[in-house]
Amino acid sequence: MRILSIVGARPQFVKAAVICGAIARDSGTPPIEHRLLHTGQHYDDRLSDVFFHQLRMPQPAYNLEVGSGKHGQQSGEMIRRIEPVLESEEPDWVLLYGDTNSTLAGAIAAAKLGKLRIAHLEAGLRSFNRSMPEEINRVVADHLSHLLLCPTETAMRNLKREGLRDRAVLTGDVMFDAVLGESEAAEAMNSPVARAWREADFALATVHRQENTDQPERLWAIMKALEEIARTICPVLLPLHPRTRKFLGDWKPHHVTISDPLSYHEMLVLEHRARLILTDSGGVQKEAYFAKTPCITLRDETEWVETLENGCNVVVGAHPERILEAARNTAHAGPWKPLYGDGNAAGHVLAALRSHIMLCP
């Protein structure tokens, strides 16, 4: 069975690494041949190459080096470059991950060829906000895919409402697998940033979503709230995504500590140590949940609705007063329930790919 994984962005590398590891340990029938196609959506070493090294992933068989650009331009260029690879490889499965432009481009390129089976890992997520590029990407990918690999029961219910239940399989979340498998290595790495932030009394923040970075009033409202948290509640560490740094320009925070993007292992360590996490990242919301660290989501909705139970995660948008109120009330968060599978989601994914290969046209 030949699988071609299409990845291009930081969270996809983590998910693909779990699949790579499961394939390396796999002894099932038929045997699996797996290749990676990297679109180059994230091309900065801190957002790309370091993940392949730390997570012990094989180098991509293809790196399309598409780079950044407007959504239509970037997605169109990806489709153009992915298509000849798919025609050459003719995999049994095209495996897509998450909700990025790489996901969308892979789905369209494979579907247009008309003869390839498409599987979507992390299927069924919905924020129900069509102004989010990620929501468009995940909806299109789900409707073009032959097999929908769902991390949660909520995702299964979403697909049932859209008439896609017959294509869906509940596997659990491969990001939970990743946290279980990489936490020990993350602590052992003992990086400078991990040594500098040992105390539990700090907040970890990430901001990179288009809805926040492209709207100056939202971005500056969030920064104002982070400064106030750092001044009145606890220190704040803000690793800056390149796109966020570009929009902030010469901003010099009075109390917030700015850093370059952190590696996956560094983020894991700090997510476990932090007193609270503030983020607009879907992946970081989940990692906060796995770490049992209270999370404040800097968006108007979340696709990870299970995390909202028991105040483990609170959605506050970009309103400084709501952000501050949530930051002052994190002591009430919990308990955290087991919601994301048994820690062997990758194994369930491989089993689903094998069992459905004859069922899907």
Residue 307 near residue 286, CB atoms below 8 Å: yes
Residue 148 near residue 169, CB atoms below 8 Å: yes
Closest CA to 281 of 256, 269, 264: 264
The sign one gets for the Cα dihedral 175, 99, 286, 248 is positive
For residue 219, give the amino acid letter. Answer: L
Contacts of 251 by beta carbon, 8 Å cutoff, 6+ apart: 223
Choose, from 146, 208, 265, 348, the residue flagged as catalytic: 208
In whole angstroms, give the CA distance from residue 35 to residue 20.
9
- What one-character-per-residue DSSP string does 334-359 give? -PPP--S-SS-HHHHHHHHHHHHTTT
Q: Is 265 a catalytic residue?
A: no
Q: Judge residue 166's burial from the number of C-beta atoms within 10 Å of its C-beta, 0-12 exposed, 13-18 middle, 19 or more buried.
A: exposed
Distances (CA, A) of 300 to 128, 190, 322, 327, 334: 11, 35, 12, 16, 21
For the annotated catalytic residues, the residue numbers are 208
